[in-house]
Amino acid sequence: MRRSLCSVGIENWSADRISLQQYTMPSFTEENVRAHFEKLALSYDDGKTKNSTYYTHLKKNLQLRIPHGRSVLEIGCGTGDILQSLSPSRGVGIDISQVMIKQCKQKYPQGTWFHGNMAEFLQSNNDTYDFILLADTVEHVPNLPALFSQLPHVSHLGTQLIISMANPLWELLLLLLEALHLKMPEGPHRRLRSTILLSALQQEGFEPSGRSFHLLLPTYIPLLSSIATACERVPLLRRCGVIEILRLEYVGKK
């Protein structure tokens, strides 16, 4: 039975259909994204270290959703840290940046790393996975309809799709932090509301099972960080967290 988006705390999703054009008509290309991350790759890990509060919370929350010892496919794996932190029984990382994948192989030679996009990966892959992870990736995908239509090919019934992304409410502040050189350059991207993504994924056989928000203060400040953590217990304030995580289950196309 198809679940309502309201059942996972997502109301009035039909109002977002007016943004569907943003979903189907990208303003950048895959080559734009590739060039950005090729340039960023060598300083990528340093950037994550400078923003360690954000990445520590992200990894912790992903570990809570993806148990150790499961098969995991990460699309947009960067330099491989998140995938390796999950201790998968079989982990495969995909990235369109050749330099990123080169770093993955140097840091984690025991892993399986693929340079290319999802369409290229499917040409040589027939496996399915228990979990598919897109961590801070969907905003950089120029052709989301194509990517989402490819996900069933690496899914079996019950496969869990986990998507993390920056809460769109933070977009202006994130741009300001980038301008002040307090965060890594975001590169070509677009922030889409989760209702758009979930509605599109339902068409591909993925049913939403949860949405959550985390981290009201994405940098450590003594005392203020403790207050922010306490405020996350308040539902209305929690929805202002910078990290948004979606969880869906593959049930097959109807």
| Res 17: pLDDT | 47
Burial of 201 (0-12, 13-18, 19+ CB in 10 A): buried
- Per the DSSP assignment, residues forming a β-bridge with 200 are none
Cα distances from 208 to residues 39, 132, 162, 242, in angstroms, run: 35, 14, 10, 20
Length of the chain: 254
Task: Return the domain boundaries, the chain.
Answer: 5-250
Mean pLDDT per block of 10 residues along the chain (254 residues) reads 51 46 76 96 91 93 97 98 97 97 97 97 95 97 94 98 96 90 91 92 95 90 85 87 97 88
| Res 15: pLDDT | 40
Q: Could you read off the pLDDT of 158-195 as tens digits, one per residue?
A: 999 999 999 999 999 999 988 988 889 999 999 999 99
Residues 253 and 177: their CA atoms lie apart, in Å, by 41
- The topology (CATH level 3) of 5-250 is Rossmann fold (3.40.50)
Cα distances from 127 to residues 5, 88, 105, 244, in angstroms, run: 29, 15, 21, 28
The answer to whether 199 touches 12, Cβ cutoff 8 Å, is no
HSE at residue 230, side-chain half, CA atoms within 13 A, is 5
Residues 218 and 184: their CA atoms lie apart, in Å, by 13
